[in-house]
A and B are shown apart, each in its own frame.
Chain A
Amino acid sequence: MTSRTAYFFLLPALILYSVFVVLPILQVVGYSFFDWDNGIIGQFVGLNNYSRLGSDGVFWAALGHNAIWVALTLAFPLMAGLLLSAILAERNSSTIRWMAAIYFIPRTIPLVVAGIIWGWIYNPLFGLLNFVLDSVGLGSLAGAWLAESNTALLSLNVVGAWTFFGFCVVIYLAAIQSIDPSLYEAAEIDGAKWWRKFRDITVPLLKNSTLFLGLYAAIEAMRFFDLIWVTTQGGPGYATEVLTTHVYKTFFLVGDFGYAAVLSVVLLAIVLSISSISFWILRSK
Chain B
Amino acid sequence: MIKLTKPLQTLILGIFVIYALTPVYLVILAAMRSEADLFSGPLTMPWPPNWQNFSRVWGDSGFSVFFMNSMKISASVTILVVLCAPPAGYAFAKMKFRGREPMFALFLAGLVVPAPSVIVALYGNLQTLGMIDSHIGVILPQAALLLPFSIFLMRTVMQDVPDELIEASTMDGATPFETFIRVVLPVVRPGIMSLILIVFLFSWQEYLLPLVVLQTETLKPITVGAASLQGRYGVDYGGIAAAGLIAFAPLVVLFLAMQRSFVRGLSAGAVK
Contact = CB atoms under 8 A, between A and B. Distances in A.
Nearest to A30: B121
Interface string B86-105: 01101100011110100100
Given A20-B122, A20-B140, A264-B118, A120 B38 contact: yes
A247 to B, nearest CB: 5
| Residues of A contacting B: mostly | helix
Interface string A119-154: 011000011100100000000000000000000000
A128 B107 contact: no
A90 to B, nearest CB: 8
A131 B252 CA distance: 28
Given A3-B98, A105-B20, A223 B259 contact: no
Contacts of B111: 219, 275
Contacts of B161: none
Contacts of A251: 119-120, 123
Interface string B172-210: 000011001000000000000000000001001101100
Interface in B64-121: 80, 83-85, 87-88, 90-91, 95-98, 100, 103, 106-107, 109-121
B144 A21 contact: yes
Interface residues on A, range: 35 or more
B232 interface: no
A87 B14 CA distance: 12
Interface in A73-109: 80, 83-84, 87-88, 97, 99-106, 108-109
Which of B13, B83, B223 gathers most chain A CB within 10 Å? Answer: B13
B145 interface: yes
Interface in A1-32: 1-3, 5-10, 12-14, 16-17, 19-25, 27-28, 31
Contacts of B109: 272, 275
Interface residues of B, number: 95
B51 interface: no
B27 interface: yes
A119 to B, nearest CB: 8
Contacts of A80: 16
Nearest to B109: A272
Which of B26, B91, B103, B226 gathers most chain A CB within 10 Å? Answer: B91
Given A12-B83, A13-B147, A230-B230, A109 B251 contact: yes
Contact of B114 (A3, A162, A271): A271
B97 A106 contact: no
B122 to A, nearest CB: 4
A213 B120 CA distance: 29
A27 to B, nearest CB: 4
Contacts of B83: 12
Interface stretch (A49-57, A168-176, A181-189): A168-176
Given A16-B84, A225-B116, A251-B120, A120 B30 contact: yes
A110 B204 contact: yes
A110 B227 CA distance: 11
Contacts of A110: 204-205, 207, 223, 226, 247-248, 251
B121 A112 contact: no
A111 B227 CA distance: 10
Nearest to B90: A9
Given A24-B118, A198-B4, A209-B270, 4 more contacts: A21-B145, A28-B121, A109-B24, A109-B248
